[in-house]
Amino acid sequence: MSTHTLTIALGERSYPICIGSGLLDQLTQLAPLPKASAALIVTNTTVQPLYAARLQAALQGQYAQVQLVVLPDGEEHKNWQTLQSIFDTLLKHGADRKTVLFALGGGVVGDMTGFAAACYMRGVPFVQVPTTLLSQVDSSVGGKTGINHPLGKNMIGAFYQPRLVACDLDTLDTLPARELSAGLAEVIKYGPIADMALFDWLEQNIDALVARDKTALAHAVRRSCEIKADVVAKDERESDLRAILNFGHTFGHAIEAGMGYGVWLHGEGVAAGMVMAAELSQRLGLVDAAFALRLRSLVQRAGLPVKGALLDAQDNAGRYLELMQLDKKSQAGSIRFVLIDGPGKAVVREAPEALVREVIDLCCA
């Protein structure tokens, strides 16, 4: 399979996204990497035995020292304590401001590595090597980095762009089925907000994606990255347009925080959140029932939950509203949702609390 390269156009911070097979072994040939004497690979306990040695071998021809730090796996470890272990390793080995960090793993590894790179000596270069579908189609692209707080997901972080994103499709071969489905949630979201042709294609090819057909996966990753690259180039710091990429996330983040990080995968929360957001869009008269049903069906076919979690038996809607107040899109205490303003078009707006409560009561188990 040939390598496909596209570029995020951010002026002097522009960088390539490379998509193909076998990229781990040819990373130094994909694009000019930052020149330095040392590199640090950040990975986790699941990915390390699968791919760390290959990446180390690929980098040793360019860097005199290639160190490794292995983080615990899971969203529940996306916190200050785990972040500190990256800084400990950098300082222990005398890393300078030219040391290059390589994020080898999924969204948690990528977000934390990017945040560490943004903070260490006020900024060192880093490269994204995403190994999950979710990170390849979403979290590795666009420069959002950060950690979770017990009261809110991704509330502490920085916008900090990588120098390269290398999506090796072969790493998806070892991805557990549940993680693959979680990644499909972030692929599905691009259809309703930006590209109904992609949505139509997903309806026709979702079974092939679940079966890990490499040609189908390559198209899904490429088109997802193209859409996100276009949005990020127009609104890097999410002052306006970029917020549409959070379709399903306001409800989804509340599920993750309310259940406890790691109980639901991020993509699972987003999946149920998209169904809830589509239901809210329908109740506001923005889409018809047929479209909401199409989205629900596609989410279900991807092996994802279509009902949100019960967070509080006494006042479930109240608990959701409390958590959604902490959403980054909220302004002056008002919760703002990414809604579908007709298929293929998103809008960010408030909604009457009574309607939101109705949706939560209807859509939560």
Residues with a known catalytic role? 122, 144, 186, 228, 238, 242, 246, 249, 253, 266
Q: How many CB atoms lie within 10 A of CB 83?
A: 21
285 torsion bin: left (phi>0), alpha (psi -120 to 50), beta (else): left
The C-alpha atoms of residue 188 and residue 268 are separated, in whole angstroms, by 12
Q: Compute the Cα dihedral for 228, 234, 237, 240 and give only its sign.
A: negative
CA atoms within 13 A on the CB side of 274: 34
The whole-angstrom separation of Cα 221 and Cα 253 is 23
Give the span between the Cα atoms of 218 and 216, in whole angstroms.
5
* Sign for the pseudo-dihedral over CA of 298, 300, 303, 309: positive
Amino acid letter, 171: T
Question: Cβ contacts of residue 84 below 8 Å, gap of 6+?
Answer: none
Q: Which amino acid is at 236?
A: E
- Cα–Cα distance measured from residue 306 to residue 272, given in angstroms and rounded to the nearest whole number: 5
Query: Which tokens belong to 231?
Result: 């949005």
Contact residues for 317 (Cβ-Cβ < 8 A; gap 6+): 356, 357, 360, 361
- The enclosing H or E element of 338 equals strand 337-340
- The Cα–Cα gap between 115 and 78 comes to 11
Which distant-in-sequence residues (6+ apart) come within 8 Å of 203 by Cβ? 294, 298
Q: Name the token pair of 21.
A: 């097979």
Q: Parallel, antiparallel, or unpaired: how do β-strands 15-20 and 4-8 relate? A: antiparallel
Contact 186, 134 (CB under 8 A): yes
